[in-house]
Amino acid sequence: MPTIGFVYPDHAAEDDYPLAERMLGDDTALRVEHIYGTDLHAVPELLDLGSPTRLSDGAALLAKHAPDAVVWACTSGSFVYGWDGAAEQVAGLSEAAGGLPASSTSLAFVHAAQTLGLRTVAVAASYPGDVAKLFADFLGRGGIEVVSAAAADIDTAAEVGNLPAEQVVDLAVSHDHPDADALLIPDTAMRTLALVDDLERRLGKPVLTANQVTVWEGLRIAGLARTYDGLGTLLRTGGRR
């Protein structure tokens, strides 16, 4: 059984992963283990959340699942390290996981956008403005132009996890931009997997969300080149348009 392991911070929208496993509908197992820190969307706290020690602890927890690949399922706790720091972060996670392929949600967004050939994007972020800007800067380092970046100024992941679906949809639809090839929603604390197809129909373009790209990245780095319905353009096409 192919198995992807996810290191997930605290508790918010981790139920997107068993939902994704059901939606994949094959023999792929998605296993989540938690690490704990403060869930505040602030730079010092996010640097602590994504520290080597915490991610090593997560890798150790995943070992019992014998995963084929591991992913740090946190956007802000990866892009806050910057482009080079995010690469070093996943290299450390790979080493802690015994040399397994490893990645993070921030890198997954860049890889997904590059694979789909996206040049311009709009960002509908739950974060405070200073943190949202760091995400836009990170995307820029990956060669992706951010034509619009909205920040909802929500301070904690717990608050984001409690957003009702209709509020998530409103956040997304109201912050699209006509010049954007796609809309990005970058918080793994936000439940989005059940909404992606509907959002794409409304907007008429690809929508990339944190938990969606994290699942796709895990499949990609594990060498599972498959396509799936119900999870947006990215997984329906396997990233090929």
Give residue limits of the domains in the chain. Answer: 3-108+211-236, 110-209
Report the pLDDT value the prediction gives residue 32, as an integer from 0 to 100.
98
pLDDT of residue 1: 86
The C-alpha atoms of residue 162 and residue 13 are separated, in whole angstroms, by 9
120 neighbors 179 (Cβ within 8 angstroms):
yes
The sign of the dihedral angle between the CA atoms of 96, 220, 225, 194 is positive
- pLDDT of 42 reads 86
Give me the architecture of the 110-209 domain, per CATH. 3-Layer(aba) Sandwich (3.40)
For position 239, what pLDDT does the model report?
A: 59
E-strand stretches of 100-236: 102-104, 120-125, 145-151, 182-185, 207-209
CA–CA gap between residue 179 and residue 3 (Å, rounded): 38
For the chain, give me the number of helices (H) and strands (E)? 12, 8
Helix axes 165-174, 196-203, angle to 10 degrees: 30
Domain 3-108+211-236, CATH number (from 3.40.50.12500, 3.90.1150.10, 3.40.50.300, 3.40.640.10): 3.40.50.12500
Range 199-231 burial, b when 16+ CB lie within 10 A, else e: bbeebebbbbbbbbbbbbbbbbbbebeeebeeb
Cα–Cα distance between 16 and 188 in angstroms, integer?
A: 9
Can you tell me the distance from the alpha carbon of 115 to that of 109, in angstroms, rounded to the nearest whole number? Answer: 10
Instruction: Report pLDDT for 152.
Output: 86
Here the tokens at position 32 are 């989540």
The reply to whether 3-108+211-236 and 110-209 are identical in fold is yes
Parts of the chain with a pLDDT under 70: 239-241
- State the pTM of this model: 0.95
pLDDT given for residue 240 in this prediction: 58
Reference 237, options 157, 182, 162; nearest CA is 182
Q: Report phi then psi at 146, rounded to 5.
A: -95, 110
Smallest CA-to-CA distance from 74 within 164, 193, 241, 190 is with 190
CB atoms within 10 A of CB 115: 16
- Rounded Cα distance between 175 and 25, Å, is 32
